[in-house]
Structure 1
Amino acid sequence: MKFDFHTHHERCGHASGSVRDYIEAARNNGLHMIGISDHTPFFAASEDRPSLTGSMAKSDFPGYIQEVLALKKEFAGSIEVLLGIEADFLPEHLDLYREVIASHPFDYVIGSVHDFAGIGIYDSEYWESLSPERKLETKNLFYDYIAQSAKSGLYDILGHVDSLNRYFYGYSELRTEAADRTLKTIADSDVVIEINSSDDNWVPDGYFLERAFHYGVKVTFGSDAHEPERVGEHFEAIGKQLYDIGYREWAVFRNRERFMVPIER
């Protein structure tokens, strides 16, 4: 079975193409399941859309739900379309997000850390300004946020875990016991992590995935595609990497239920 659970589209302001474009690209690429998982609005903000490139507007959210559900019916029989969402982990607003998400028929929810303790995951200049000791503290703090997101019970999938490896030079060389503590928390919370193939720089890396396998952490796949032509990108190669590590199955979702399917070599 070929699938992709992490895709965006034009509503979020930093991706191109319509929802239909991503579904058609997935079908043309031989996928059996395609998840649409654009960014939630900033529900706690007073403005309809405080960032034109950060997420969809609150006023766009009902249309997003309706469109994906309609396309799910339209494409039934040729490809299974799943209604997903990517929700930032915002500890101070968990109850609000929990209430909104519970009121819609999502097939799965991705939880992602984009900011932690006022630090943005893309802020490489901030990282470069830190001493080696502060870099390690920052990495440990990031892992703490990941662990908190796992324990929240709000998410089915944790998105682009260890994403700092893409933007913070030397991040992967900083070994810390916090990684193992976080992976144990993820396993105990029974939440899945995705292998994210965006930008041709997969995260988590092989070392982290080997530790994840050791702790029994379940995995799935998401391209994090922001252009339709990147849907399903590197699916087979990532499956091979996981198989070589020792994984024999990965997770798919439907109606907030998880099903394990074989990794095909």
Structure 2
Amino acid sequence: MKTNFHTHNYRCGHAVGNVEDYVKVAIEEGYTELGISDHAPLPAYYFDRMKMEDLENYLEEIEKSQNKYGKQIKIYKSLEIEYFPEFQSYYDELRNKLDYIILGLHAFRKNEEDKNKIYNAWTIKNEEDIIFYAKYMAEAIKTGNFDYVAHPDLYMINYRKWTAACVEAAHIICKAAEEMDLPLEVNANGIRKTLERYPEWDRYMYPYKEFWEIVRQYNIRTIIGSDTHNYNEMEDEPMEMARKFAEELNLKVIETMF
């Protein structure tokens, strides 16, 4: 069974290809299931995403591909989205329109009192922020709004030192994921980015091996996600490397969300 549940398209503004482009490649590669999961529009904070006025057209485009290619491949509607508790009604609305929702936590808050301050996982530089990020992700997981977590080890992108705080953060995230039976994603795009931009690094941007060694201590399902932003890269060497990474660590990999 060959599947992928994490893909983007031109609507987010930093990807190429439309829905049909991804579907055609998936069929050529022998996929049985494909999830279309572009970055969701947000009411506030993040704007390098799909625009709110594009959402219905996005869903209609997926439906057209479902009707056109439904006998060849199963296609699902999805979005990758941030977590902000004040948007609960929006998550409820999306739940009625989508087959599944991916938590992609790039932004986080440190405390409830500082609601107007948004921090970015890409710029984490200290242990205190690593713990804040992990606790915020655990809070998001426990809402029940999401069906799996994209790149849960994103907090290691620029910190790059596996310290006691990193271990604690991994356990915080894993305990929440196990409690909610929420799959964690081994993300091929971290490998893709590392090969393209950081050849001097001795490891991938993500997946971060030490994080996943902790994941396997728990009863947690994992899923391989391409997270491709280019339909020509959906089934590429980094995708195979992500599968091999999961296999070598003996992770509990699922092939489908359904």
**Which residue pairs with 1:176 in the alignment?**
167
Change (3 A) 1:36 1:202: farther
Matches within 5 A, 1:139-154: 139-154=130-145
Q: Percent identity?
A: 27
Q: Are the equivalent residues in 1 in contact too, given 2:3–2:255 (CA < 8 A)?
A: no
Q: Are the equivalent residues in 2 in contact too, given 1:222–1:232 (CA < 8 A)?
A: no
Q: Distance in 1 between matches of 2:152 and 2:212?
A: 10
- 1:110-158 CA-to-partner distances (Å, cap 9, x unmatched) read 011111122112336xx3xxxxxxx111111111111111101000011
Report deviation, 1:81. Answer: 1.4
Unaligned segments of structure 1, at least 5 residues = 128-134, 259-265
- Find 1:101's aligned residue among 75, 94, 105: 94
Matches within 5 A, 1:68-79: 68-79=62-73
Report deviation, 1:224. Answer: 0.9
Change (3 A) 1:216 1:248: closer
Q: Are the equivalent residues in 1 in contact too, given 2:138–2:176 (CA < 8 A)?
A: yes
Change (3 A) 1:158 1:226: same
Matched, 1:236 2:229: no
Give the structure-2-normalised TM-score. 0.84
Q: Are the equivalent residues in 1 in contact too, given 2:188–2:241 (CA < 8 A)?
A: no
Change (3 A) 1:145 1:187: same
Q: Which moved more, 1:28-37 or 1:151-160?
A: 28-37
SS of structure 1 residue aligned to 2:227: coil
Q: Which moved more, 1:184-193 or 1:228-237?
A: 228-237
Report deviation, 1:172. Answer: 3.6
**Which residue pairs with 1:82 in the alignment?**
76
SS of structure 1 residue aligned to 2:256: strand
After superposing on structure 2, the runs of 4+ consecutive aligned residues of structure 1 that deviate more than 6 Å are: none
Change (3 A) 1:25 1:191: same
Equivalent AA in structure 2 for residue 72 of structure 1: Q
Q: Distance in 1 between matches of 2:162 and 2:31?
A: 32
- Find 1:197's aligned residue among 150, 168, 188: 188
User: RMSD value over aligned CA atoms?
Assistant: 2.0
Q: Distance in 2 between matches of 1:5 and 1:25?
A: 14
Equivalent AA in structure 2 for residue 164 of structure 1: Y
Report deviation, 1:176. Answer: 3.2
SS of structure 2 residue aligned to 1:232: coil
Matched, 1:113 2:116: no
Give the structure-1-normalised TM-score. 0.82
Report deviation, 1:44. Answer: 5.1
Q: Which moved more, 1:9-18 or 1:242-251?
A: 242-251
